[in-house]
Amino acid sequence: MSKFERQTLTVDGVKTVVHTAGHGEPLVFFHGAGTVDGFDFAERWTDRFRVIAPYHPGFGESGDDPSFTTMHDYVMHYLELFDMLRLDRFNLVGLSMGGYLAAKFASEHGHRIRKLSLIAPAGLIDPKNPMLDILAVPGEAVPGLLVSDFEVLKKKLPEKPDLDFMGDRYREAGTVARLFWEHPGDPKFMRYLHRIKVPTQIIWGEEDKIIPAGQAETWRKFIPNADIQIYKGAGHLVHLERPEAVDAVARFMG
């Protein structure tokens, strides 16, 4: 396993920080709507893949672009970044909101994707298994909803109230609000999901309190051959709670 190296790029005027580690086929990871979980978990992929983990604009170490108001803006951002990185064809893994983005990217630019792995992906309007309206949840209540075993997340959180940490989370929530406050779901996203033809894996924690694992079966309606893996005893951040889920991604991509 190798450690990530940090690279700062300017993509269409936006400061974009990309963490890269490992050798082999390229594997891009899209993080979710918060960045508390970090990229350390992805070191498990670095033995077999060159892992490329960018921070989306408005999150983590990347800069802000207030003109980003739709997921399509992020698709365009990544087309530009992948061109800069000379990434022609690659494996794509997306977590939660990053899963939504990965699926959208794959439905629009499938020829650039080798294999797709979606971990607890957001994006579906699924009235029988509705996603929690995370924007309506008070910030202090969010961490408890992310995992099944809080100890897993606790070490990534400040011990005492921390203004900078609070500010970082508020900034990311603001970026999410910009995208989803008025329209948490986009029916057009599902309209074109059937265009995903690449081998696709879907991973979920059975006890996900943010996006119910029941949505995995709904994804199957759009991507009939998806390989679905549900992990018992894990919540939304299944990649932190279950290292074998992280290994399953590498196996699928391999």
Partner 1 sequence: MAAPLRFNVMHFMPYSYLPENHKEYKSTWVSFPNKFFDPEKGHELYNRYIGELVLADELGYDAVVVNEHHNTVYSLMATPNIIASALVAKTKNVRICVWGTPPNFMLPNRLAEEYAVLDVMSKGRIEVAFPLGTGMEYWSNPVNPATARDKFRESLKIILQAWSEDGPTTHYGNHYTYRFLNPWPRPYQRPHPPCYIVGTGSPETIEIAAELGFGYASVFVTQARAKELNEQLRERAAHFGHTIRPDQLPLLTFVYVAETQEQAEKEYIPHLQRFFEDYARTIPQYLAPPGYLSVDQLKVRAATADKMHGGFDFKAISSSFFISVGTPDKVANDIGEWSARMKTNHINSVMHVADMPHWKTVKNLTLFAEEVMPRLRQRAGSPQRLAAE
Task: Give yes or no for residue 181 binding partner 1 (CB under 8 A).
Answer: yes
> Pick from 116, 95, 121, 94: which is nearest to 197 by CA?
116
Contact (Cβ atoms closer than 8 angstroms) between residue 147 and residue 239: no
Residue 158 in contact with partner 1, rule: CB under 8 A: no
Least separation in angstroms between residue 137's CB and partner 1 is 9
171 binds partner 1 (CB under 8 A): yes
Instruction: Return d(Cα 45, Cα 115) in angstroms, integer.
Output: 15
| Contact criterion met (CB below 8 Å) for 119 and 94 | yes
Pick between residue 168 and residue 227 the one whose CB is nearest to partner 1: 168
DSSP 124-187: ---TTSPPP-GGGS-GGGHHHHH-SSHHHHHTTS-SS--HHHHHHHHHHHHHHHHHHSS-S--H
Q: Which stretch binds partner 1 (CB under 8 A): 34-42, 74-82, 124-132, 171-179?
A: 171-179
The site for partner 1, by CB under 8 A, has a size of 20
Nearer to partner 1, 55 or 90 (CB): 55
Judged by beta carbon, residue 133 or residue 244, the one nearer partner 1 is: 133
The span from the CA of 186 to the CA of 123, in Å, is 7
- The rounded distance, in Å, linking the Cα atoms of 198 and 191 is 17
Is 166 a binder of partner 1 (CB under 8 A)? yes
In the complex, least distance from residue 163 CB atom to partner 1, rounded to whole angstroms: 5
Residue 135, interface with partner 1 (CB under 8 A)?
Answer: yes
> Judged by CB under 8 A, which of 127, 138, 187, 224 binds partner 1?
138
**Residue 144 in contact with partner 1, rule: CB under 8 A:** no
Phi, psi angles (nearest 5°) of residue 161: -50, 135
In the sheet that holds 25-30, the strands lie side by side as 5-11, 14-21, 49-54, 25-30, 90-95, 113-119, 200-205, 227-231
Question: With binding defined as CB under 8 A, does residue 122 bind partner 1?
Answer: no
List the interface residues with partner 1, window 51-70 (CB under 8 A): 66, 69
Distance separating alpha carbons of residues 19 and 224, to the nearest angstrom? 33
Among 13, 144, 174, 243, binds partner 1 (CB under 8 A): 174
Does 182 bind partner 1 (CB under 8 A)? Our answer is yes
* 2 sits near partner 1 (criterion: CB under 8 A): no
Rule CB under 8 A: say whether 175 interacts with partner 1. Answer: yes
Which residues of this chain interact with partner 1, rule CB under 8 A? 66, 69, 135, 138-139, 163-164, 166-168, 170-171, 173-178, 181-182
